[in-house]
Amino acid sequence: MGKYEEVKIAYSKLKVLNANLCCNAINNEHIHFNYTGLKHLIGGGEKTRSMRQINSRVKLFKYIKTVACSNNVVVEYRITKCKDNFIEYWGLTMTIRDNLTITVVLRKKNSGKLHFYSVFKRR
């Protein structure tokens, strides 16, 4: 099994474990884990990520629920227009421990479903 297959399996497990995950910071909206999140995790086109980058993000999966369900997150919000679409992004940032601050990015296209988009460690 190749590394990308392992990442897809890890993402599928994340999807199952968080099937009913709601985000406290965004009106308790349900968070969906779809192909868009997996595609962004791996990167696409010119932005393909290295396996090192991907693996470091996969290791952060275990914190997604902690951040999304917390009332103690810093929320950054932005909206962009791309062609005829409005895309909303929320960055939920939380310090997990002294040397670890995580940002979970959630996204919504037009009036669609809120979905996981990214997770990364802040420096």
| Confidence at residue 82, expressed as pLDDT on a 0 to 100 scale | 86
Percentage of the chain modeled with pLDDT above 70: 96
Considering only CA atoms, which of 44, 45, 46, 43 is closest in space to residue 120? 43
Could you report the per-residue pLDDT of 52-111, keeping only the tens digit for each? 888 899 999 999 999 999 989 999 999 999 888 999 999 999 999 888 999 999 999 998
Buried b (16+ CB within 10 A) or exposed e, 88-122: bebbbbbeeeeeebbbbbbbbeeeeebbbbbbbee
Region of 39 on the Ramachandran plot (φ > 0 left; ψ -120 to 50 alpha; else beta): alpha
Q: How many domains does one find in the chain?
A: 1
Domain containing 29: what range?
Answer: 3-122
